Amino acid sequence: MKKQGTTNLRVEAAEASKKAILDAAEALFAEKGYDATSLQEICDSAGVTRGLPGYFFGSKDGLYRAVLERSMARAQDLVTYLREQIQSKEVRGKELLKIIIELLYDEFTSHPTFIHITEWEALHKGRYLGNLPAQLQVLRDGLQVLQEDTSLRIDAEQFLIDFFSLCWFPVVHTYTFLKPLGINIQDPEFKIRHKHHVVQLLLRSSQI
């Protein structure tokens, strides 16, 4: 019994260290990009020994991919939830689209680090993210979910492009365009106003 308890503690400690490394890596990759971030910086930020990232992820490249895949897993969970909402048939048409937009908006604004990492990827023509199987699959799944419900009657591809454009800009340009205007994207009142604005714009552009 004591041995089992010790094993559980070791597993929990390992998982906690792994999460700390992923969290630190995500924050640093978002702030500095892949090339300018060192494994030592990640270890210092995570409070772990130098060898642990290699033990868990094999290399800096492996750690970076793990960070991207964790973000894709969050997105896949959201797509699964949206599919369940559509299949439940409890809400339809404009109300369903409103729910979808609000859920996507909350996911975007609550995880700005992924958007910042994606911007670094864009500067390098998506050298990792553009070829990540999970990224490709979640986008395909997202399109399929939007196309599954005929009550939506939207151009799914254009809808996603419009949504990303409306939500991406404020997160990416927090310090370039919004700060000089005195706008704080983390201000709850701004988030409420902006989400309402995004919802209304996208609903008006739909054929519902």
Q: What is the reported pLDDT for 15?
A: 93
> Which comes out higher in pLDDT, residue 90 or 201?
201
- Do 193 and 154 meet the contact criterion of CB atoms below 8 Å apart? no
Most confident of 5-9, 61-65, 204-208: 61-65
The CA-based angle 144-148-153, given to 5 degrees, is 105
- Span 93-130, pLDDT tens digits: 788 888 888 988 988 888 889 889 989 988 888 877 77
Sorting pLDDT into bands at 50, 70 and 90, what band is 43? Answer: very high
Mean pLDDT of 49-58: 93
Q: What is the DSSP letter of 177?
A: I
28 has a pLDDT exceeding 90: yes
Q: How many helices (H) and strands (E) does the chain have?
A: 9, 0
155 has a pLDDT exceeding 90: no
- Span 163-188, pLDDT tens digits: 989 988 998 898 899 999 999 988 99
Answer whether 0.75 is exceeded by the pTM: yes
4 has a pLDDT exceeding 70: no
- CA–CA separation, 166 and 201 (whole Å): 9
- Residue of 77, 78, 98 whose CA lies nearest to 163: 98
- Do 145 and 86 meet the contact criterion of CB atoms below 8 Å apart? yes
Domain residue limits, the chain: 1-58, 65-205
Q: What is the reported pLDDT for 3?
A: 59
DSSP structure string for 25-84: HHHHHHHH-TTT--HHHHHHHHT--TTHHHHHHSSHHHHHHHHHHHHHHHHHHHHHHHHH
The percent of residues in the chain predicted with pLDDT above 70, rounded, is 93
CATH class belonging to 65-205:
mainly alpha
Question: Which listed CATH number (3.40.50.2300, 1.10.260.30, 1.10.10.60, 1.20.1630.10) goes with 1-58?
Answer: 1.10.10.60
- CA–CA separation, 135 and 143 (whole Å): 13
